[in-house]
C-alpha cells in the first residue's frame, strides 16, 4: 500500500468515495474536512452532510482547520492512524480568502505560495498513511474571470507539488480510476 496517495478528479467524478475506499474501513482514520460551513448555504450543507453520512462513525473528523494549520495536522498525525484530507481545492479557496490573494496582490500571492510549500513539505514528512483528494480543474475551459483563472492556476501548481511528494497518483474520470503513478 502506498504511503501517500493523491486522488484527483473533476466534479462528481467519484474522487472522495474512491479515496475513502483506499483506507480500510476498520482502521483508525482522521478525516480532515477542509470545507468551511456557511449557515446561509443550504445546498453546501447538504453536500457536507452527504460526505459525513458516508464515513464510518469511528473515523475522527477534524473540521475545517485553518489553512495554516493543515501542515501541522499532517506532521503531527499518529503513525498508527490513516489521514484522509478532503479536499485540497477547498483548502486552497480558504487560503486565498485568508491571504487576500484574489486580487493578485503580489505579497498575498507570496504568502499563498509559502503556505503551499509548507503543505507540500508536510505531505513529505507525514508519518501516517495519507490520502489527499483534490479537484483537477486544468482540463476544462479557461475561466472568464481573473479569480477563476487564479484559482485554476494556483490549484494546478499545488496539485503538481503534491503529486511530486506522493507515491501514488490516481485520476478519477466518470467514476473510473486511472492510475497515473
- Positions marked catalytic: 51
Q: Which long-range contacts (CB under 8 A, 24 or more apart) does 70-74 make?
A: 70/32, 70/34, 70/119, 70/122, 71/118, 71/119, 71/121, 71/122, 72/122, 73/30, 73/32, 74/119, 74/122, 74/123, 74/125, 74/126, 74/128, 74/130
Quote the cell numbers at residue 157: 501548481
Tracing cell 474501513 back to the chain, one arrives at 25
List the grid coordinates of 123: 505531505
Q: Is 133 left (phi over 0), alpha (psi -120 to 50) or beta?
A: beta
- Phi and psi at residue 45, to the nearest 5°: -60, -40
DSSP SS3 for 171: strand
Amino acid at each position: 500500500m502506498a504511503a501517500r496517495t493523491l486522488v484527483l478528479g473533476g466534479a462528481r467524478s467519484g474522487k472522495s468515495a474512491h479515496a475513502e475506499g483506499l483506507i480500510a474501513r476498520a482502521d483508525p482514520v482522521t478525516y480532515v474536512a477542509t470545507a468551511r460551513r456557511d449557515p446561509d448555504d443550504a445546498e453546501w450543507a447538504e453536500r457536507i452532510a452527504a460526505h459525513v453520512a458516508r464515513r464510518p462513525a469511528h473515523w475522527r473528523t477534524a473540521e475545517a482547520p485553518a489553512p495554516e494549520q493543515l501542515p501541522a495536522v499532517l506532521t503531527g498525525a499518529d503513525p498508527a492512524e490513516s489521514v484522509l484530507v478532503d479536499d485540497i481545492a477547498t483548502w486552497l479557496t480558504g487560503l486565498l480568502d485568508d491571504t487576500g490573494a484574489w486580487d493578485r496582490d503580489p505579497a498575498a500571492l507570496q504568502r499563498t505560495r509559502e503556505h503551499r510549500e509548507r503543505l507540500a513539505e508536510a505531505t513529505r514528512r507525514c508519518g501516517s498513511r495519507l490520502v489527499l483528494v483534490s479537484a483537477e480543474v486544468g482540463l476544462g475551459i479557461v475561466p472568464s474571470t481573473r479569480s477563476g483563472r487564479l484559482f485554476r492556476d494556483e490549484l494546478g501548481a499545488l496539485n503538481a507539488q503534491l503529486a511530486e511528494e506522493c507515491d501514488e497518483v490516481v485520476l478519477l474520470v466518470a467514476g473510473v480510476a486511472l492510475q497515473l503513478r
